[in-house]
Amino acid sequence: MASNVAIKVEGLSKQYILNKAGVSKSDTLYGSMMSGLRNIKNIATKKEREEFWALNDVSFDINQGDRVGIIGRNGAGKSTLLKILSRITPPTAGKIEYYGRMASLLEVGTGFHGDLTGRENIYLNGSILGMSKQEIDKKFDEIVAFSEIEKFLDTPVKRYSSGMYVRLAFAVAAHLDSDILIVDEVLAVGDAAFQKKCLGKMNDISSNEGRTILFVSHQMNTLQALCNKGMVLHKGQVSLNVSSADVAIKHYMQLANQVARSAVADRIDRVGEGKIKVTNISFFHSAQATEELITGQHIEIHVSYECKANYVGNHVNVALAIYGDDGVLYTVLNSENTGMTYQSVNGNGIFICTINKLPLMEGSYFINVSITESGITQDWVQEAVFVNVIAGDFYGTGKINPSSHKSILIENSWSKK
Amino acid sequence: MNKEKIVIDSGLSSFFSLSEILKYKSLLNNLAKRDFIVRYKQAFAGIMWALIKPLISILVFGYISSKINSAESTALNFLYVASAMLLWQLFSSVFNDVSNSIVSNANLFSKVYFPKIIIPLSTILVCLVDFLISLIILIVLFIVSGQVVHWQIVLAPLFVVLTVINGLGLGLYFATINVKFRDIKFIVPVVLQFGMYVSPVIFNTRYYLDRLPEWLHWLFCLNPMVGAIDGFKYCLFGGEAIYNWTYFVLSIVVSFIFLFIGIKYFYKFERSFVDYI
């Protein structure tokens, strides 16, 4: 039935112009005038610019009452899609039609101000999300009860713990009366019990009240728990149209595997004799492949390798060098230094590096991989894999080092004599 | 289906819509409330700053004015300067704050949709509250000097509105440019500093025009604050505040042209602010 469609997206595209030299020269009036002059002199500035299609001809329909998970790798266009759907940025081409009121939760606590009290922030945040004063008045007690911050209602939120902050922020959004709710991985924060509560609330919203939910998350188990439908985006295009959640997750995993493997195995800019080659690098957390790591998490780095026929390697050493996205070397994980040199390596297999508590702070990292045998480099791939680390609770105290002091975290304890 | 149908397309410019602003009335109030609370929070003198700041300027420039312009009594000089200075400070805070409002609230509209005009409008509310508080100075001066109040005083709010229109029109234009070129935050204070000396703040329009060559008169009056300040003084003191009605009307026309350009320019780029911020 046609009237059952809640959101109709047709031929949606979004183009960004990237300036190759990082920061655009025309970001200052002077620079702009100078580039204007250069244009007059007919020295092409076009070369410095690169078009980038974040979304390219995306079309899909979403039915009313569906909870749809939008899945995709970083850069697949998920965030751009959500931004266009929530009317934050206009599309370059295409059209979206939807019925009723749409609320987007791309960030928890948008507009929260540290100097304002919890009560004041509920009204501010509620009105930013489009609620009227009467609506907030009506829902106020429910919001407070849901967020469990009664006692701190008149305390400035800058004194809140991050958990309280997130609870309050989500509580406001969850009580917004909207026909369509857009949620962007905000559930990655907050403790497990509260996450469960949020998922329950979202389930409630869609099944009991017939509201439509669009949800983006990297956590497949969360997606599985919440969504009944899923769609996969890849490189700005629809790779799998709205299907059942299980099918979508399976499709995504295949896609992710494919991309990651081809990335390392197909690299030609590698150094070494090549008798052993790295074919893939992947990250595992509690036996599940993961794309994004969390600070403090127990992780395994799986380095898949492949040997030339009849080759047997002895005294094989594997090293992973971790660089920040600014090129700073953070650490080198060297199997030999931990007392592990691999003997009689042949065929194919996986070297596993286990990190009990990931000491990397929030940010993006490159990993260089090298395999040497008796001191001779067999394979060396620079920037073999790129990984994002999300802020996590390394010390188990709920406190997180400020990301402005990006460094390696070290276990330590304090006492007094 | 009786729900409102919303269409998002690739059209870049949007249009001023009063009904949409009214729908976001509570956001307007809450943003203004936030700015007001935050502005004076953790300041010992708190809201007193809304009085202290204009009071200092009035004392300094009132003194200078009464020393130089001996044609009027000292009390009247102070009253003239006070009334003009309060209006000028309203203009300068609206102009400056509106220019910066879009950039400094980028974190809001890059996460949630709402009509962006709400941000500068809420900024204006805060400036108006400060202005109303600072009016105490003028009232006290009136009482102390025993100055008679004219019937035209009922028209005074019109010129307060005209002042806000001046600040808003220029502010919206500069706020839009500010999204891409952050030079604005350095330019606006310079414009304001210079502007005060070519507006009838320290001296009356008559004082300036008597000393300027004829051909510069119309240029002086293209300044939209000439109309607002002269009009305001006319409401408070009556008589000769308005030097020349043609120039006066010209200045007011300029105000509305600025407002029109400001709004038009703002709405032309409003939808794509996020991509440039």
Domain count, chain B: 1
Q: Specify the amino acid at residue A293.
A: L
Q: Dihedral through CA B202, CA B203, CA B205, CA B207, nearest 10?
A: -150
Q: Is residue B2 part of a domain?
A: no
In chain A, CATH 3.40.50.300 sits at 64-253
Q: Which of residues 78-137 of A touch B (CB under 8 A)?
A: 83-102, 104, 106-107, 110-111, 113, 115-116, 120, 123-124, 127-133, 136
Q: Which residues contact B221 (CB under 8 A, 6 or more apart)?
A: B205, B227, B244, B247, B248, B250, B251
Contact A96 B8 (CB under 8 A): yes
What CATH architecture is A269-405? Distorted Sandwich (2.70)
B181 touching chain A per CB within 8 A = yes
Q: Is the ipTM of this complex over 0.85?
A: no
B13 touching chain A per CB within 8 A = no
In B116-223, alpha helices (H): 118-145, 156-180, 184-197, 205-211, 214-221
B22 touching chain A per CB within 8 A = no
Q: What pairing do the DSSP bridges indicate for beta strands A376-390 and A363-373?
A: antiparallel
Candidate from B109, B181, B272 with C-beta closest to A28: B181
Contact A120 B108 (CB under 8 A): no
Q: Which range marks the domain in which residue B223 is found?
A: 18-276
Q: Which two tokens stand for residue A63?
A: 């039915």
Alpha-carbon gap: A78 to the closest alpha carbon of chain B (Å): 14
Contact B6 A98 (CB under 8 A): yes
Q: Is residue B267 part of a domain?
A: yes
* Fold of domain A64-253: Rossmann fold (3.40.50)
> Which segments of chain B have a pLDDT < 70?
1-2, 12-13
The answer to whether the CB of A267 falls within 8 A of the CB of A362 is: no
**DSSP assignment, residue A28?**
S
- Chosen for mutation from A8, A127, A132 (greatest number of chain B CBs closer than 10 Å) is A127
Tell me which H or E stretch contains A192.
helix A192-209
Q: Specify the amino acid at residue B236.
A: L
Q: Which of residues 128-147 of A touch B (CB under 8 A)?
A: 128-133, 136
Predicted pLDDT at B267: 92
Contact B38 A131 (CB under 8 A): no
Candidate from A90, A106, A132 with C-beta closest to B10: A90
Identify any residues that bridge with B74 across adjacent strands, giving them in sequence order: none
Spell out the long-range contacts of B177-182 with Cβ–Cβ below 8 A and sequence spacing 24 or more. B178/B99, B178/B100, B178/B102, B178/B103, B179/B102, B179/B103, B179/B269, B179/B273, B179/B276, B179/B277, B180/A27, B180/B276, B181/A27, B181/A28, B181/A29, B181/A32, B182/A27, B182/A28, B182/B103
The sign of the torsion formed by the CA atoms of B130, B131, B133, B137 equals positive
Q: Is residue B168 part of a domain?
A: yes
Q: Which two tokens stand for residue B157?
A: 């709010």
Residues in A touching B37 (Cβ below 8 Å): 115-116, 120
* Phi, psi dihedrals of residue B198, rounded to the nearest 5°: -110, 15
Candidate from A29, A101, A110 with C-beta closest to B112: A110
B183 touching chain A per CB within 8 A = yes
Q: How many CB pairs (< 8 A) connect A and B?
A: 120
Predicted pLDDT at A198: 76
The answer to whether the CB of A29 falls within 8 A of the CB of A37 is: no
Contact A115 B33 (CB under 8 A): no
Q: Is residue B98 part of a domain?
A: yes
CA-nearest of A316, A276, A317, A320 to A302 is A320
* Sequential DSSP letters for A2-13: GGGEEEEEEEEE
Q: Specify the amino acid at residue B151.
A: W
Predicted pLDDT at A406: 80
Q: Specify the amino acid at residue A417.
A: K
Q: Which two tokens stand for residue A414?
A: 């304090």
In chain A, CATH 2.70.50.60 sits at 269-405
Contact B182 A96 (CB under 8 A): no
Predicted pLDDT at A357: 92
Q: Is residue B13 part of a domain?
A: no
Consecutive 10-residue averages of pLDDT for chain A (417 residues)? 76 81 50 54 52 90 89 78 89 90 79 88 89 90 90 91 83 82 69 74 76 79 81 88 85 65 70 88 89 90 92 92 76 91 91 93 85 90 82 84 82 90
CA distance A100 to A97: 10
Q: Is residue B222 part of a domain?
A: yes
B53 touching chain A per CB within 8 A = no
CA B78 to chain CA centroid, nearest Å: 21
Nearest CA in chain A to B116: A88
Place of tokens 């609870």: A167
Contact A179 B31 (CB under 8 A): no
CA distance B235 to B184: 34
Whether pTM exceeds 0.80: no
CA distance A105 to A174: 9
Predicted pLDDT at A19: 62
- Give the side-chain half-sphere CA count within 13 A for A241: 10
